[in-house]
């Protein structure tokens, strides 16, 4: 339900985020502000960033980002630290590597390695099987190849006659 | 290639399914783990709702365990947890501080007059700035602080009989908050 409520206004929210009437000293400052509100996740909605959310908390946090960037002249990293200290790793779309998140980072690498190992083994296995016929199988193989050749030969002869 | 190793892909597939099941089923996905747990409650300056000339700061919350409850009149869940807060106020000697979050003071006062006031102090946070310091993203939210002013527990959502019995009462006991007997059984479901 919460998800639904969050999802509904997203179409309008892109426009709504433009309604915030903030004044910036220069274009550079405005660009930094816009990049930062794109970067953080709204704590209330499950997967919307601050720029795209209409939730009251997102509006408040946009004001906070504005205050930090414009009024207090903080650097981008200081803004990130400020929000992370209060709302945790959740607001960062780029989770840090720590005791809680290591497996998120390592699982794809592990799966990739596993895929390479499986692929190598399959390739080696395929090559190995091709040469691993015993004497009896070799004889049988020759027999089949021989049969096919002679039947092909007789077929082409009959084709010549017509 | 042995026969058993043919089952490796199936095993990996089941593992991925298992991870997905656990990951998507971890219960309260819309509850953020608080960044403040085991950390000091933030510094703040806030006016009292009933005495706007007085301000409270973090120092006023030190010395005794304190329950900080974020509420608003626009929040229906706050009304539904109100009865439980009244009971906690009546049956324990914990200090309860209300944070009236993004609300109108006149409405808040009327609400407390109508439904009763469980709070020792109510802070006026009409612009929600204290809320942001606390990492609040909705109401109600409740923080339990120890005597040193560290956050030992946070609840996002209502304080209901189950939360009181399973989460709050044991921590109250740990912190040595005096409670009348039987209290932990109230409203057991």
Q: Which whole number is the average pLDDT over B176-183? A: 76
CATH number for the domain spanning B181: value is 3.40.30.10
pLDDT at B19: 84
ipTM summary value? 0.77
Tens digit of each residue's pLDDT (9 = 90 or more) over B53-85: 999 999 999 999 999 999 999 999 999 999 999
Neighbours of B145 (CB within 10 A): 25
Residue B148 in any domain: the answer is yes
B139 neighbors B108 (Cβ within 8 angstroms): no
**What are the residue boundaries of the structural domains of chain A, listed by start?**
2-91, 102-161
User: Cα separation of A162 and B10, whole Å?
Assistant: 56
pLDDT at A3: 47
Among B19, B34, B131, the residue with its CB nearest the CB of A88 is: B34
Residue B24 in any domain: the answer is no
> Rounded to the nearest 10 degrees, what angle do helices B8-24 and A102-131 cross at?
170
Neighbours of B104 (CB within 10 A): 14
pLDDT at A16: 45
Alpha carbon of A64: minimum distance to chain B alpha carbons (Å): 9
User: Count of domains in chain B?
Assistant: 1
Higher per-residue pLDDT: A143 or B110: B110
User: Cα separation of B163 and B165, whole Å?
Assistant: 5
Q: Does A52 touch chain B (CB under 8 A)?
A: no
Sequential DSSP letters for chain A: -HHHHHHTTHHHHHHHHHH-----SSHHHHHHHHHHHHHBBPSSSTT-BTTT--SHHHHHHHHHHHIIIIIS---HHHHHHHHHHHH-GGGBSS---STTTHHHHHHHHHHHHHHHHHHHHHHHHHHHHHH---HHHHHHHHHHHHHHHHHHHHHHHHHHH-
Residue B115 in any domain: the answer is yes
Residue B76 in any domain: the answer is yes
Q: Is the pLDDT of residue A153 over 50?
A: yes
Q: Does A132 touch chain B (CB under 8 A)?
A: no
User: Cα separation of B131 and A83, whole Å?
Assistant: 13
- Between CA B116 and CA B124, with CA B121 as vertex, the angle to 5 degrees is 95
CATH number of A2-91: 1.10.8.640
The alpha helices in B116-158, defined as continuous H runs, are 129-133
Query: Domain span at residue B70?
Result: 32-185
Mutating which of B134, B137, B138 best tests the A interface, going by the most A Cβ atoms within 10 A? B137
Tens digit of each residue's pLDDT (9 = 90 or more) over B107-137: 999 999 999 999 999 999 999 999 999 999 8
Q: Does A86 touch chain B (CB under 8 A)?
A: yes
């Amino acid at each position: 339900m919460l998800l639904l409520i969050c999802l509904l206004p997203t179409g309008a929210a892109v426009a709504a985020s433009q309604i915030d009437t903030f004044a910036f000293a220069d274009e550079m400052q405005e660009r930094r502000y816009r990049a930062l509100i794109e970067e953080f996740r709204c704590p209330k909605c499950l997967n919307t960033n601050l720029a795209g959310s209409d939730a009251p908390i997102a509006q408040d946090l946009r004001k906070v980002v504005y205050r930090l960037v414009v009024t207090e002249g903080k650097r981008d990293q200081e803004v990130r630290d400020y929000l992370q200290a209060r709302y945790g790793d959740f607001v960062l779309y780029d989770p840090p590597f720590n005791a809680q998140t290591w497996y998120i980072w390592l699982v794809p690498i592990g799966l990739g390695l596993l895929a390479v190992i499986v692929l190598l083994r399959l390739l080696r296995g395929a090559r190995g099987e091709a040469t691993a016929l015993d004497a009896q199988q070799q004889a049988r193989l020759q027999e089949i190849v021989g049969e096919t050749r002679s039947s092909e030969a007789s077929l082409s002869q009959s084709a010549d006659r017509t | 290639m042995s026969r058993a190793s043919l089952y490796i892909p199936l095993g990996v597939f089941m593992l991925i399914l298992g991870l997905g099941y656990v990951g998507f089923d971890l219960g309260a996905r819309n509850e953020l783990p608080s960044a403040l747990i085991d950390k000091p409650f933030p510094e703040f300056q806030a006016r009292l709702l009933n005495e706007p000339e007085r301000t409270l700061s973090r120092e006023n919350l030190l010395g005794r365990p304190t329950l900080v409850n974020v509420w608003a009149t626009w929040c229906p869940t706050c009304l539904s947890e109100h009865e439980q807060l009244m009971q906690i106020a009546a049956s324990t000697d914990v200090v309860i501080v209300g944070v009236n979050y993004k609300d109108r003071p006149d409405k808040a006062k009327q609400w407390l007059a109508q439904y009763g006031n469980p709070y020792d102090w109510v802070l006026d946070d009409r612009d929600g700035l204290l809320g942001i310091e606390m990492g609040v993203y909705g109401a109600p939210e409740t923080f339990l602080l120890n005597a040193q002013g560290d956050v030992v527990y946070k609840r996002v959502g209502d304080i209901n009989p189950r939360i009181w019995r399973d989460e709050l009462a044991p921590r109250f006991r740990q912190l040595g908050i005096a409670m009348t007997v039987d209290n932990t059984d109230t409203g057991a479901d």
